[in-house]
Structure 1
Amino acid sequence: MSKASLLLLEDDPNLSESVSEYLESSGYSVTCVYDASSAEDLLYEHKFDLLLLDVNVPGGDGFSILKNSRKEGNVTPAIFITSRNSMRDVEEGFESGGDDYIRKPFALKELLLRIQTILKRNFYHNPTDVLTLAEGITYDSDNQVLLLNGETQTLQLKEHKLLKLFIQHRGQLLSHEMILEHLWDYDETPSDGSLRTYIKTLRKLLGKDSIVSHKRLGYQFR
């Protein structure tokens, strides 16, 4: 199974090293940057699963970096890591598109739990409420409504979760393991047969070429 990819913006090299080593030992891939310009470049060039952003950094601030990235269509969830502790700072963090806010100093275990919670939820930010997937096909992710030529299509809960996952990772090859882990909770037993059924349903609605199967590797949403 591929590791979740995290971007860590933290200008304190000691803290950056401690956080990255802990998260990598917990099974994540961590890319570290130390200033605003480097963070902006990587956000433009690469796709991450989660952003960890310090607020006060050389060349800018985490709030502005994320706010500008959201305007460009970046939907990746983000956690702010900062020593700022006023309520106005918290509000600004969420208003700029953040999903969580952790104050320094913090326990590494707490950060790990927050990361796990956000990745499990797999929510994401859309610049618009309704996404156009193809001609005559739109999807309201907030209300979980798929419209085909204006008519509402009925989907099961896991089919909605799968469609959201594909939309978030449009064009990327998703492994079978990643999809199974996302669709089924820890107390459920994943089913390859059910996954194939969900894929078949989405193809029927979105077009047979909308989801490409890569033998022994996974699926790709186009």
Structure 2
Amino acid sequence: MRILLLEDDLILNEIITEHLEEEGYEVFSVFDGEDAQEEIYSQKFDLLLLDVNVPNINGFDLLKDIRSKEIKTAAIFITSANMLEDIEKGFKSGCDDYIKKPFALKELDLRIDNIKRLYNINNSSSIQISTNITLDINNLLIKKEKEEIHITKKECDVLQYLINNKSKHVSIEELSLNVWSYEEAPLASTIRTYIKNLRKFLGEEFIINTRGVGYRFNG
């Protein structure tokens, strides 16, 4: 699980980073909003941990900006801005959870576990798709009974995104914004080809295509 941590307090940033890395997470830590924005637009994360009162772009404005661009990465605010109106502002900006400082690291663990449950995020390099189908992320393989099907990195990324958002339909535009980030956006036909291949590998029943709405993972 890849986590972006935005925290301008050097000591707290180090404490949280060390703790999360001990828990097995891959952590990218930054100290101001502009650096966080650049990282979010240049690579993929599973979770954003955002302080609010940071230099250049505050956490509320940062999250509002990326949400306006259809980036749906899960986000938790970790902040001393704990008045009721601050909490309301945080959720209106698009966060999934809100932790008031000071907090115990165990509380952070519990809230991250809840995000993983809600977004179906798995620390393992393998995702069980069905009783006889497994996605091996590290080796870019779909293992189907005794068959091993090699897939491309982008096919793997698209499939992971659909799995992580299986409670809803996902549009071509959303896939482009969240899977390709700051890379050159692919043609819609390219994404459709990836999904066509995945449906062939898995079975059409695993990825439902609703015309005019998008794709939904059915697993």
> For residues 16 and 163 of structure 1, what CA distance do their matches in structure 2 show?
27
- Aligned to 2:5, the other structure's residue is in SS state strand
Q: Does 1:100 align with 2:97?
A: yes
> For residues 31 and 163 of structure 1, what CA distance do their matches in structure 2 show?
21
Identity of aligned residues (%): 46
Aligned residues: 145
Could you list the runs of 5+ residues in structure 1 that have no partner in the other structure? 124-160, 173-195, 212-222
- 1:27 aligned partner, one-letter code: G
Aligned to 2:47: 50
> 1:202 is matched with which residue: 182, 200, 205?
205
Conservation of the 8 A alpha-carbon contact between 2:119 and 2:164: no
1:39-65 CA distance string (max 9 Å, x none): 110111011000000000011210000
> For residues 16 and 43 of structure 2, what CA distance do their matches in structure 1 show?
21
- Aligned to 2:76, the other structure's residue is in SS state strand
Q: Does 1:21 align with 2:27?
A: no
Conservation of the 8 A alpha-carbon contact between 2:5 and 2:28: yes
- 1:202 aligned partner, one-letter code: E
Q: Does 1:6 align with 2:7?
A: no
Deviation of 1:202 after TM superposition, in Å, equals: 3.2
Distance 1:204 1:118, change over 3 A: closer
Q: Which runs of 4+ in 1 moved over 3 A?
A: 165-172, 201-206
TM-score when scaled to structure 1? 0.58
TM-score when scaled to structure 2? 0.59
Aligned to 1:87: 84
- Aligned to 2:203, the other structure's residue is in SS state helix
Aligned to 2:67: 70
Aligned to 1:220: none
Conservation of the 8 A alpha-carbon contact between 2:2 and 2:25: yes
